[in-house]
């Protein structure tokens, strides 16, 4: 499926978590047994894959989110947010599935946050929990999407992620893995991904040395580590380097990593769909620009209306010449 009006022509499939985020902004984070009055409250969809799909769509791509939502009022609010942001949904939830709610407290002074969530509830325990019938159903849902230029994975809903990664590998579709924190499924997904972008908090339980060479040794073409306002370190089989991140006053860091990953996936497809190759470092730099823009604004949705006015795509067009 392709949006005829998509200016970039990019089609992305995002596989992973969808939550309802309830965000409270406070003058300072409360201590134990304390109560504070919020300066503002925001309610929106959330989750790494969902937010990545949102920015992919807002940048002009066609984004489809493969997840579990289910029915009920919480799922309805998430669906409404996705519809507003132009993201299609393939819902593979069972009859009893209930989406998670993330409660988030943001420090107004620093932009730092605290998050409490149940993540992907009622999931199979991992790849060993995927029956043949489940695998066929997930694969059929993916095949029903038609064209896909990139597959973006966050490691939540392990069964969906694993089947999607294998499907993408079979079809030679680039697979981008958002490795925010270690999950048992990550070992399999790293081996099945072309691009692995980690947070600075990501660790491998069985490895305590340099992470980037280890990721490449598993078969990835690119390994990168983001570290907030600090440079992004990256490595391929033939090159390595670091990319400075635009420095801004951080009003709110919530979701910045999700949007970084979604913007990276968008940039990866943008050049390919315009008939030109581009260094992955360009895609990482573009993603850093998007994440910095997000950090300068409060909340995860208010800033999106400015995306089209920032000349972000001009950067990609200039870099591809």
Quick: pLDDT tens for 196-237: 999 999 999 999 899 999 999 999 999 999 998 899 999 999
- Separation CA 63–CA 52 (nearest Å): 9
- Separation CA 220–CA 226 (nearest Å): 17
Residues 128-169 have pLDDT tens digits of 556 788 889 999 999 999 889 999 999 999 999 999 999 999
- Separation CA 175–CA 165 (nearest Å): 7
Measure the CA angle with vertex 212, ends 206 and 217; round to 5°. Answer: 70
Which pLDDT belongs to residue 258? 96
Contact 31, 240 (CB under 8 A): no
Would 158 be classed as within a structural domain?
Answer: yes
How big is the chain by its Cα radius of gyration, in Å?
19
Would 142 be classed as within a structural domain?
Answer: yes
Which pLDDT belongs to residue 272? 75
Would 182 be classed as within a structural domain?
Answer: yes
Which pLDDT belongs to residue 7? 52
Q: List all residues 6 or more positions away from 186 whose beta carbon is below 8 Å from its beta carbon.
A: 155, 177, 179, 204
Please give the share of the chain, as a percent, with pLDDT higher than 70: 91
Would 287 be classed as within a structural domain?
Answer: yes
Mean pLDDT for the stretch of residues 231-248: 93
Q: Look up residue 68 and give its two tokens.
A: 């579990």
The pLDDT of residue 282 is above 50: yes
Would 113 be classed as within a structural domain?
Answer: no
- Separation CA 268–CA 52 (nearest Å): 13
**Cβ–Cβ contacts within 10 Å for residue 291, how many?**
28
Q: Where are the alpha helices (DSSP H) in 22-131?
A: 48-58, 73-84
Measure the CA angle with vertex 285, ends 284 and 291; round to 5°. Answer: 85
The DSSP code for 25 is E
The DSSP code for 204 is B
- Separation CA 86–CA 70 (nearest Å): 19
Question: What SS3 class is residue 232?
Answer: strand
Select the more confidently predicted residue: 21 or 126.
21
Give me the domain span that covers residue 254. 11-17+46-91+126-319
Q: Where are the beta strands (DSSP E) in 68-155?
A: 87-91, 100-107, 113-116, 150-153
Would 118 be classed as within a structural domain?
Answer: no
- Separation CA 19–CA 46 (nearest Å): 5
Number of domains in the chain: 1
Would 186 be classed as within a structural domain?
Answer: yes
Which pLDDT belongs to residue 173? 96
For position 146, which CATH number holds? Answer: 3.40.1190.20
- Compute the mean pLDDT over every residue in the chain, rounded to the nearest whole number: 88
Would 3 be classed as within a structural domain?
Answer: no
């Amino acid at each position: 499926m392709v949006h005829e009006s998509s200016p970039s022509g990019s089609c992305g499939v995002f596989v992973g978590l969808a939550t309802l985020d309830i965000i409270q902004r406070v003058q300072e984070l409360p201590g134990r047994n304390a109560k504070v009055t919020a300066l503002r409250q925001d309610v929106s969809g959330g989750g790494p894959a969902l937010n990545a799909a949102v920015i992919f769509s807002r940048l002009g791509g066609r984004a489809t989110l493969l997840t579990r939502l289910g029915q009920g009022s919480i799922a309805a609010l998430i669906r409404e947010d996705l519809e507003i942001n132009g993201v299609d949904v393939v819902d593979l939830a069972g009859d009893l599935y209930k989406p998670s709610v993330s409660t988030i407290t943001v420090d107004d002074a620093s932009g730092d946050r605290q998050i409490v969530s149940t993540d992907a509830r009622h999931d199979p325990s991992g790849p060993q929990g995927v029956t043949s019938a489940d695998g066929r159903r997930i694969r059929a849902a993916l095949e029903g999407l038609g064209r896909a230029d990139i597959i973006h994975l966050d490691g939540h809903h392990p069964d969906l992620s694993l089947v999607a990664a294998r499907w993408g590998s079979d079809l030679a579709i680039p697979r981008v893995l958002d490795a925010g924190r270690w999950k048992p499924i990550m070992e399999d997904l790293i081996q099945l991904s072309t691009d692995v972008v980690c947070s600075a908090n990501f660790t491998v339980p069985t490895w305590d040395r340099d992470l980037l060479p280890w990721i490449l040794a598993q078969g990835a073409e690119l390994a990168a580590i983001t570290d907030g306002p600090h440079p992004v370190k990256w490595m391929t089989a033939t090159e390595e380097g670091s990319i400075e991140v635009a420095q801004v006053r951080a009003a709110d860091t919530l979701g910045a990593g999700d949007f970084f990953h979604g913007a990276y996936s968008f940039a990866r497809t943008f050049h390919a769909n315009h008939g030109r190759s581009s260094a992955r470092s360009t895609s990482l730099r573009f993603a850093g620009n998007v994440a910095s823009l997000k950090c300068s604004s409060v909340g995860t949705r208010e800033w999106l209306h400015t995306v089209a006015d920032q000349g972000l795509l001009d950067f990609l067009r200039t870099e591809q010449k």
